[in-house]
Amino acid sequence: MTVIAQVNTTSGVKVLAAKLSIIAASISIVALFGLHVLSPEFGPSWRMVSEYANGSFEWLLFVFFIFWGLSSWALAIALWPYVASVAAKFGVIALVISGLGTILAAFFNVNHPLHGLTGTLGIPTFVVAALLVSYHLRKKTDWTGKKNVLIWSAHATWMSVVLVVVTMIIMINGFKEAGIVLGPSQKPPASVPVGVVALVGYANRLLIAAYIGWLLLVSSVLLNIYKLRSSD
């Protein structure tokens, strides 16, 4: 009876963690949507999401980052007892580090000297986590029928990072040619000069969609797996 109770408790924790990951990710998405509606002055084509800290609804950006990070942590808890390889375990640890970077971004906003550090902790580590964990999960029979979408979702994370870098370089060069210097101490112009290709904002939002999309995908499938196992 004691063993059965321990098994049920462990299963309950895993189910709860997967649920919390989904809920937290959903709250983060709603918060981001709210920022777009409430702060339309930040043009989504070229203004980064972190720039919402300079608007009237910084608290909503705080909610966005906090719950995004909590979703990563909750999924890490749900994944840890499920993955077996050393590489996958390292991927889960990378997910924890990524969640830390995201949560720190809520406290160290775009105007803080440590904001760059939060991105370093949060962005590349998530790519590592998504790839290592996904390639481990695809070997499991539980993921039959979901392997392709899982792998594509994982690769979408690094593709979105590359897209952000490329569009950022293009935009910065365009502003330079227009005689406008962008930098931490420089106030962004009110609008994009004619002829400047500025799409980094869309790329930034695509990155967020790829990252949170992977969290939701893995959490939802894992939740169904744990529910089925607990009902046996």
On average, the pLDDT of the chain sits at 92
C-beta of residue 35 within 8 angstroms of C-beta of residue 57 = yes
Assess whether pLDDT exceeds 80 at residue 10.
Answer: no
Q: How far apart are CA 138 and CA 155, in angstroms?
A: 13
pLDDT tens digits for range 141-194: 999 999 999 999 999 999 999 999 999 999 999 988 888 877 666 677 878 888
Among residues 23, 85, 18, 20, which one has the least CA distance to residue 229?
Answer: 18
Assess whether pLDDT exceeds 60 at residue 8.
Answer: no
Q: Report the pLDDT value the prediction gives residue 192, as an integer from 0 to 100.
A: 86
Residue 162: exposed, middle, or buried by beta-carbon count in 10 A (0-12, 13-18, 19+)?
exposed
Q: Report the pLDDT value the prediction gives residue 184, as an integer from 0 to 100.
A: 65
Q: What is the mean pLDDT of residues 31-49?
A: 95
Q: Report the pLDDT value the prediction gives residue 231, as an integer from 0 to 100.
A: 63
% the chain with pLDDT above 70:
93
Q: How far apart are CA 73 and CA 215, in angstroms?
A: 10
Lowest-pLDDT range, 9-13, 32-36, 92-96, 182-186?
A: 182-186
- 22, 155, 212 from 217: Cα distances, Å: 9, 13, 9
pLDDT tens digits for range 188-220: 787 888 888 999 999 999 999 999 999 999 999
Residue 47: how many other CB atoms lie within 10 Å: 20
DSSP 48: -
Rounded-to-10 torsion of CA 82, 87, 91, 94: 130
Assess whether pLDDT exceeds 50 at residue 7.
Answer: no
pLDDT tens digits for range 119-137: 999 999 999 999 999 999 9
pLDDT tens digits for range 70-122: 999 999 999 999 999 999 999 999 999 999 999 999 999 999 999 999 999 99
